Amino acid sequence: MNFPQFWARGSSGDFLCWRWSSRSLAEAQTLADQAARQLAERFRAGAYPPKHGGYYPDRPFREQVLQEIKDDAGEMSAVVTRNCYGCLVLNTARVMFVDIDLPEPKPSGGFFKKLFSKPALTPPSNEQSAAMATIENWTRNNSRWGWRIYRTRAGLRLLATQALVAADSAEVENVFEALGADPLYQKLCKAQKCFRARLTPKPWRCGLHDKPERWPWLDAKREKQFQKWEAEYQSYSADWATCEFVRHIGNPDMHPGVRSILELHDGPTKAESKLQLA
C-alpha cells in the first residue's frame, strides 16, 4: 500500500500539479513545482496535457489516512482513508475485496412516491442474478475459497474469507477476471497493491451535492469549510447504508486476519441494517 504522508501543490502560470513524498513536505513541494514547470513547457511547445477522470492507477491516492491497522507482526495490514468526494475507504494489503459493477437499479413506485420518499429498490435484476450464478458456479469448482457476498447500490461486493492474498498476485488477477470484477478496480488493486472497499455512502446519493474541500487543505479557512461539509455529510448519510450482507458461500473457515478486517467493514457500512443503499 502506498499512501504518502506529504503532498504539495506546485504552480507555473495557470498550471497546477500535485506531487507527493514519504520523506518531507519540502521534497513534495520541490517535485510539485518541477512538475508544474514541465507541464507549462509542454503546453507552450504544443503538447496538450492528457485528460484524466477519477482515479489515476499509476500514482498514489491523494487521501488523508485516518486510521492505521497493523497485524501481529507489526506490519501495516489496512488503512482507512477519506477519498476525493468525502467517503471513508478501507484499504487492505491482503484481505481481498472484489467489486462487481452492474446496471444501477431504478426506484420503484409512482411519481409522487419517487418525489417525496426514499426510493425502494427493485428486486435483483437479471444481471445481478447472472453475476450471482457466476460466483456460485466458480466457488463450487474452487472449493477452498469462501466469500461473504454484499449487495451495493451499483452491484456486488465480495470479501474472501478463507485466506490472505496479495493484491498484485497472478491468482488475484485470475479470480478478478473469472468473477467479472470492475476493470478500473482491477487496475487500481494491481498498481496500488491493495484492495479497497468504500465504507460510507456516496454524498450525492444521500441528497448532499456540495463537494468537500479536498485534503490537504491549503489554509485554515478551507479546512474549516471541509469540517462544515463533513458535519452535513454525517447528518445526510445517517439513514443510509453502503452495502447489504446477502450470504456466505463456499469454505466456511475464516482466517483470523480476515475476521479483524470484517469488523472494520461491516460496522461503518451498516451491512446488517437493512437501510437503503447509497
Evaluate if pTM is beyond 0.75: yes
pLDDT at 182: 96
The answer on 179 and 101 residing in a single domain is yes
Distances (CA, A) of 184 to 97, 105, 192, 196, 238: 14, 21, 12, 12, 29
Distances (CA, A) of 168 to 56, 75, 213, 265: 17, 18, 32, 21
Amino acid at the residue 255: H
Contact in structure between 18 and 8 (CB atoms under 8 Å): yes
DSSP one-letter code for 232: H
The answer on 210 and 75 residing in a single domain is yes
Amino acid at the residue 135: I
What total number of domains does the chain contain?
2
Residue 140: exposure state from Cβ atoms within 10 A (0-12, 13-18, ≥19): exposed
Structural domain range at position 195: 62-277
Is 57 part of any domain?
Answer: no
Report how far Cα 182 is from the mean position of its chain's Cα atoms. 12
Cis peptide before 203 (omega within 30 of 0): no
- Print pLDDT tens along the chain (278 aa): 889 999 999 999 999 999 999 999 999 999 999 999 999 998 888 876 656 555 566 789 999 999 999 887 878 899 999 999 999 999 999 999 999 999 765 555 544 444 344 444 444 578 899 999 999 999 999 999 999 999 999 999 999 999 999 999 999 999 999 999 999 999 999 999 999 999 999 999 999 999 999 999 999 999 999 999 999 999 999 999 999 999 999 999 999 999 999 999 999 999 999 999 99
pLDDT at 68: 95
Q: CA neighbours within 13 Å on the CB side: how many for 147?
A: 23
pLDDT at 115: 39
The answer on 20 and 47 residing in a single domain is yes
Strand bridging mode 195-198 / 146-152: unpaired
Q: Which among 145, 111, 106 has a CA at the least distance from the CA of 125?
A: 106
The answer on 107 and 5 residing in a single domain is no
pLDDT at 120: 45
Is 44 part of any domain?
Answer: yes
Cell numbers for 99 = 467489486
Strands (E), 63-115: 64-70, 76-82, 88-92, 97-101, 107-108
The answer on 128 and 14 residing in a single domain is no
In the chain, the N- to C-terminal Cα span, in Å, equals 27
Is 56 part of any domain?
Answer: no
The answer on 82 and 168 residing in a single domain is yes
